[in-house]
């Protein structure tokens, strides 16, 4: 399915995936308001624009009161959940800061806002503290399930095995656990993508966030900018979403910003290919320029309210509804008990 290329066959694939989505998770889209807490990162992944080795990035960190104000806004907008994302950092001050944010968000929403974390690899103790503070979902992309390819895309001290172990720890602690890969990485074959799906299956993953790889000029993979084909990247990204829906059925699948970066209607196309989650960026526009993982990231100067209104309109126009005020937990998580 991943190697289909004839236009009518690709359309048939999306259509079938949509039927599977309807049957297993329905056509309600859940919003997760995304707050990009900080672009400070101790890691140095070769593909990423905010890698520690990129001196051209101006680093920022949003303060506690501002994060809580953004979360309160999300709550007023009746978003069911928020996602706290940042570059990877592991130290006691950071752990404590995040713990306070989780507690603060739970308090301001009387426990009603669901909290997803996307804060990289941490020790079991840190994950446990955050879980006990009230976070209940965690996203940690494996990036690629091919260990050889993983090595080629990361410095020697970034470990594939440690990352898999983190996913298992998160599940053991009771988190709804999400992972995902970048689609269209240099050196990645269609068989690798098929193996990624088997990895999601074997690890019994609840949620998926995947998007096309988009080269960033100020990274070691910047040489790929010249030959990059956005049309192709969108199509491969959508096919991966569709095949994941068909194969994994009841997981939550996000239609990611990277799709929208390549095509203005990319996220809606993702919904039609089988995704059921959207993560609108609600980070204050003052900070957005700093969080450029890849080039052409959309919505740099679009405020959270206008982007919500246009998103709402386009979702209704494809015949779907929005699950305001609901957590929209992964059916797969419920089914695995």
Binding stretches for ligand SF4 (CB under 6 A): 41, 43, 45, 48, 50-51, 87-88, 120, 293
Residue 120 binds which entry of ligand 5AD, ligand SF4, none, CB below 5-8 Å type-dependent: ligand SF4
Q: Can you spell out the DSSP letters for 34-63?
A: EEEEE---S---TT-TT-TT-TTSPP-B--
Q: Nearest 5°: phi and psi at 106?
A: -60, -40
| Strand ranges, E, within the chain | 28-38, 81-86, 114-118, 137-139, 176-179, 182-183, 207-212, 252-255, 277-278, 321-322
Token pair recorded at residue 323: 């699950």
- The distance of closest approach from Cβ of residue 262 to ligand 5AD in the complex, given in angstroms and rounded to an integer, is 10
Nearer to ligand SF4, 75 or 150 (CB): 150
Report what 216 binds from ligand SF4, ligand 5AD, none; CB cut-off 5-8 Å by kind: ligand 5AD
Q: What phi and psi values does residue 182 have, to the nearest 5 degrees?
A: -90, 140
Q: Which of 200, 228, 198 is nearest to 214 (CA)?
A: 228
Residue 141 contacts which entry, ligand SF4, ligand 5AD, none (Cβ below 5-8 A, type-dependent): ligand 5AD
Identify what 210 binds: ligand 5AD, ligand SF4, none; CB under 5 to 8 Å per kind: none
CA–CA distance, 219 with 221 (Å, rounded to integer): 5
Residue 62 interacting entry, from ligand 5AD, ligand SF4, none, C-beta within 5 to 8 Å by type: none
87 binds, among ligand SF4, ligand 5AD, none (CB under 5 to 8 A by kind): ligand SF4
Kindly tell me which of 259 and 271 has the beta carbon lying closer to ligand SF4.
259
Nearer to ligand SF4, 33 or 49 (CB): 49
Interacting residue ranges for ligand 5AD, rule: CB under 6 A: 47-48, 141, 143, 182, 211, 213-214, 216, 258, 293-294
Nearer to ligand 5AD, 211 or 328 (CB): 211
Give whichever of 44 and 326 is closer to ligand SF4, judged by the CB atom.
Answer: 44
> Which sign does the torsion angle of CA 271, 274, 277, 282 carry?
negative
Neighbour tally for 61: CB within 10 Å = 16
């Amino acid at each position: 399915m991943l190697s289909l290329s004839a236009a009518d066959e690709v359309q048939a694939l999306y259509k079938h995936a949509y039927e599977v989505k309807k049957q297993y998770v329905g056509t309600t889209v859940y919003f997760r308001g995304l707050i990009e807490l900080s672009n400070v990162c101790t890691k140095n992944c070769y593909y990423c624009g905010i890698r520690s080795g990129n001196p051209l990035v101006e680093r920022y960190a949003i303060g506690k009161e501002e994060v809580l104000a953004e979360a309160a806004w999300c709550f007023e907008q009746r978003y069911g959940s928020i996602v706290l994302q940042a570059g990877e950092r592991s130290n006691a001050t950071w752990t404590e800061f995040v713990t306070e944010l989780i507690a603060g968000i739970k308090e301001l929403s009387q426990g009603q806002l669901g909290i997803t974390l996307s804060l990289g690899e941490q020790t079991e103790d840190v994950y446990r503290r955050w879980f006990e503070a009230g976070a209940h979902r965690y996203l940690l992309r494996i990036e690629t399930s091919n260990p050889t390819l993983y090595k080629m895309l990361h410095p020697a001290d970034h470990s594939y095995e440690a990352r898999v172990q983190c996913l298992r720890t998160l599940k053991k602690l009771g988190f709804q656990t999400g992972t995902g890969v970048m689609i269209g990485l240099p050196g990645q074959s269609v068989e690798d993508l098929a193996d990624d799906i088997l990895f999601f299956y074997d690890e019994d993953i609840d949620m998926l966030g995947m998007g096309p790889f988009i080269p960033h000029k100020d990274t070691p993979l910047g040489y790929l900018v010249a030959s990059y084909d956005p049309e192709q990247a969108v199509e491969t990204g959508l096919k991966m979403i569709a095949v994941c829906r068909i194969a994994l059925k009841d997981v939550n699948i996000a239609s990611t910003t990277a799709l929208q970066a390549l095509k203005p209607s990319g996220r809606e196309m993702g919904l039609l290919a089988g995704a059921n989650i959207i993560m609108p960026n609600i980070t204050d526009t003052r900070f957005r320029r700093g969080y450029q993982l890849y080039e052409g990231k959309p919505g740099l100067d679009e405020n959270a309210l206008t982007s919500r209104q246009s998103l709402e309109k386009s979702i209704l126009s494809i015949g779907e509804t929005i699950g305001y005020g609901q957590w929209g937990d992964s059916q797969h998580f419920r089914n695995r008990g």
